[in-house]
Structure 1
Amino acid sequence: MTEDTPNEIVVVKSEQSKINSVDFSNLIFGRVFTDHMFICDFKDGKWQTPQIIPYQAMTIEPSARVFHYGQAVFEGMKAYKDENDDIFLFRPDQNFKRINTSAARLAIPEFPESYFFDGLQTLLKLDKDWIKPGVGNSLYVRPFVIATEPAISASPANQYRFMIICSPAKAYYNEPVRVLFAEKFSRSADGGVGFAKAAGNYAAQFYPTSLAQKKGFQQIIWTDASTHQYLEEAGTMNIFFRINDKLVTAPNNDRILDGVTRKSVIQLAEDLNIDCEVRRVSVEEIKSAAKDGSLKEIFGAGTAAVISPVSAFEHGGDVFEIEQMEKDSYASLFKEKLLQIQHNLSEDPHHWRYKVK
């Protein structure tokens, strides 16, 4: 069935949903996808008419520039459903701004705001049954754009494809994670693309992360590329440190992703009168705090992970175990506050919740 929405999005509905074949109680993150996807091509100097079509494989030429020069950026968002069957997004304006910031850094044309929000809302309403109510349940939403022009000369493409696909999700990390502090490898460098959500940033992390995993650690907390003395962010999360009752996190720079969950935690800390310092955090400061007992918590913050406690870290051959707090944990407090807002179970004083209409 084909129809046009009021905003010129062509919708082709799936003839049969595959939702009944999905075990929602045993989801593996990012492996199952909903019935439909959003697609919009850029050619002849402009974005074409957006479409929503059944989720499917697509044909792309082997000479597409994305394969050769890595012009690809993406976002990570979540949709939630409350007990009234209403659908909400969390601060989607930030994701929209960030994907265009990322795109600009990789010489990709910015995507129109109306196409983004109209397409997103239409897609979520079409696949609303995939969004399950209840805290902990969500629909992970992945907007991304790739260079599709078939040409292998080293220059920006003239053709692109913007897409949105969705995947039902539960918790990303079910248990506290163990991390390595980077000593040799770097995630990004000054003047690079670390602040952008570029696909290549993640590809470059896979090898050092695989080495860490062989040692029993799930993630790396990256350090500055110049000296490896200052802690910045983990592979899938921004990082917070609790020293006594003070919260500390690294400032944004051109190496660090401007995390939506990160900035939300900073605001919640202010709301709760929790002292939060945004400043450089040295490896030696955290090791010293771990030794003298003042390091109470380390936790990551990100869309997929929400809030993920760290149970241990290693640096220079030294392993530091972090005793998990049974009460008065900042990680637990922030996670509860965020989930309550996201699932429409509490007040939303900063208007972060975006209702899909």
Structure 2
Amino acid sequence: MQRTRKCRKWVVIMGLTAMLMTLLSGCGGNAGNKEKTTAADPASRQYYIFDTVVNIKLYEDPKAEEHLDHIDTMLKTLDQELSRTLETSQLYKVNQEAGKQAVEVSEDTMEVLKRSLNYAQETDGLFDPTVGGLVDLWDIGHEGAHVPAPEDLQRELSLVGYKDVVMDEAKQTVFLKRPGMILDLGGIGKGYAADKIAAYLRGEGVKSALVDLGGSSIIVVGSKPNGDSWTVGLQDPDSSRGTIMGNIRLNDQVINTSGIYERYFIEDGVMYHHILDPRTGAPAQNELKSVTILTDNATDADALSTVVYVMGLEKGMEFVENYNEETQALFITKDNKIYATTGLKDTFKVTDEQYSLVE
């Protein structure tokens, strides 16, 4: 039996290539790590939260360090609320009390869960925040990941069901009806945190900033310091050399990618990636390598990149086309074809001849 694991980040900002490729290529980091800057450099800081390295750069802002300190406090608070693995967190307590009693939670936790359940309803359960047991069972991205026994898979699959999550907004409580249910907000929590950061920066009058969540999601606040749009390069999912296969320009937007190359293992010659289908409890099987969502908020981008991948090309394309005007998507198939929703067909530029944009 053969097992391999890989961690690869693949969104880079062109024009600041040297710095951001250094930041995005790693798979780890330290909370609150400050970088030394000169007057010409952006103020930057690296955080580690939700099992993800977060890098933030603020340009030409006299209160940058004050803002970065505030963001540090903000992220630590969200971690104490939304982390599934932190034993002191609100979400951990909700899961511990499954089938027993409701748990009082913060406004942020209520909002994230409310939005998660809305996505679940909109997608008929293809996005389901109660997949925590399945995530633990597969444990993809950690040492020792393997294909679970059928009886274990069926047990955890039987505990998936967003309709069994009870929210009492008046009392601000959450209750899981069945013992053993596990909420996992990892499919939306990082995006929500990024939106909180961006909202704070905009409220403070910051005109130019980058918020990078682990390399798979980037939110740009405003434009580049010189007023130009940011140019984001998408790396070839199959390349280990940082080869860019296309690029797109952003201004005050979010780009988020989910792909099968991000976290996976190989067992008996079969690849098992981390994007689970709540209907089967197993990694989603379709023709896609990745899905990239471009929109105006990170919460949508975080959730949609995953659920649209599970839908597959045809249904995913239809879903995004009908979602809203601000949301667009790129689909990369295993035969190196790129499919773009209407709003991206004229703005995404393919730069690698191995790939072709389907008109």
**TM-score after normalising by structure 1:** 0.30
Question: Of Structure 1 and Structure 2, which has the larger fraction of its residues in helix?
Answer: 2
TM-score by structure 2 length?
Answer: 0.29
